[in-house]
Amino acid sequence: MKLVRYGQPGSEKPGLIDADGKIRDLSAHIADLKGDALSPASLAKIAALSPDSLPKVTGNPRLGSCVAQPGNFIAVGLNYADHAAESGLPIPREPVLFNKAPSCMVGPHDNVVIPRGSKKTDWEVELAIVIGKRASYVEEKDALSYVAGYAVCNDVSERAYQTEGTGQWMKGKGCPTFGPLGPWLVTPDEVGDVQNLDMWLDVDDKRMQTGSTKTMIFGVAHIVHYISQFMIMEAGDVITTGTPPGVGMGMKPPRYLEPGNVVTLGIDKLGTQKQTFVAWSA
């Protein structure tokens, strides 16, 4: 299934994409795509519905982030060897974890705001995992059964905030609008082999990133297992899993985003995003 949230910010409704690519309203069955609505039992009930029995949504409504109000928005850094190299950092021996603020999540086609004073706002196409049930001390062999689905994430990053001061990377990762997620939440049955998905990102129609999830250092199952050794994840939590090479920071000279730049990105089977970057204003 492909599940969406559509409507104006703060008033989104849950929906399902039918065979014709049209949105069908799910609000009579679930309140939103969050928490227990993403549990295996809930997703099984949704899958059993006939799309034709659901109201068709007319027009082309805005899409919100495909998951609402996650308790955690966890990120994995340096999870592609080539990206670690372009960052001038060694290949990690275990996953590098940090947090993105859940409040940074926006829709896949919403504007992204360059923070006040920022000169080093960067792009990162990433595969995101959405958790479907409480995960604590998960065995790697069982880890994929905890996944509700997958989505495209642009892990927008402010590199000066991230690396040039003291403290953790999260300072450059959780600014408002720095977490476009979607367009859809795609359930694992539609994705197939999650470790063999092509991914790409363009800035102003110029290809910057080309990669595949098959080159991840730590795969999805290991990531879910690993994070669950240190914290409890609940249904609806989001994990974004790292980016392939081609980010602005790694260019010579580095290139960063400016107001008016348009970033388009996508992952095979998971859809595409398109954002215009805009200047911060009070």
Q: What is the pLDDT of residues 213-234, one digit of tens each?
A: 999 999 999 999 999 999 999 9
Q: What is the pLDDT of residues 13-51, one digit of tens each?
A: 999 999 999 999 999 999 999 999 999 999 999 999 999
pLDDT over 70 percentage in the chain: 100
Task: Please name which of 54, 13, 5 lies closest in space to residue 31, comparing C-alpha atoms.
Answer: 13
Residue 87 has pLDDT above 90, yes or no: no
Q: What is the pLDDT of residue 112?
A: 98
Q: What is the pLDDT of residue 197?
A: 98
Q: What is the pLDDT of residue 86?
A: 80
CA-derived radius of gyration, the chain:
18
This prediction's pTM: 0.96
| Strand ranges for 96-225 from DSSP E | 96-99, 105-106, 112-114, 121-122, 125-131, 147-154, 157-158, 179-180, 185-186, 198-203, 206-212
CA distances to 30, 38, 64, 129 from 41, rounded to whole Å, are 12, 8, 24, 18
How long, in residues, is the chain? 282
Q: What is the pLDDT of residue 3?
A: 98
Residue 82 has pLDDT above 90, yes or no: no
pLDDT tier for residue 84 given thresholds of 50, 70 and 90: confident
pLDDT tier for residue 91 given thresholds of 50, 70 and 90: confident
- Count of alpha carbons within 13 Å of 216, Cβ hemisphere only? 28
Query: What is the enclosing helix (H) or strand (E) of 225?
Result: helix 220-228
Instruction: Quote the mean pLDDT of the chain.
Output: 96
The sign of the torsion formed by the CA atoms of 227, 231, 236, 240 equals negative
DSSP three-state, residue 223? helix
- The residue type found at 192 is G
Q: What is the pLDDT of residue 25?
A: 98
Q: What is the pLDDT of residue 235?
A: 98
Q: What is the pLDDT of residue 90?
A: 84
Instruction: Say which CATH architecture domain 67-279 belongs to.
Output: Alpha-Beta Complex (3.90)
CA pair distance 161, 172, nearest whole angstrom: 5
Q: What is the pLDDT of residue 165?
A: 83
Mean pLDDT of 241-248: 96
Q: What is the pLDDT of residue 45?
A: 98
Q: What is the pLDDT of residue 168?
A: 85
DSSP three-state, residue 126? strand
Contacts of 109 (CB under 8 A, 6+ apart): 62, 63, 180, 183, 273, 274, 275
Q: What is the pLDDT of residue 149?
A: 98
Q: What is the pLDDT of residues 52-73, one digit of tens each?
A: 999 999 999 999 999 999 999 9
CA pair distance 140, 143, nearest whole angstrom: 5
Mean pLDDT of 190-206: 98
DSSP 164: S
Residue boundaries of the structural domains of the chain: 67-279
β-pairing, 105-106 vs 179-180, is parallel
Q: What is the pLDDT of residues 97-148, one digit of tens each?
A: 999 999 999 999 999 999 999 999 999 999 999 999 999 999 999 999 999 9
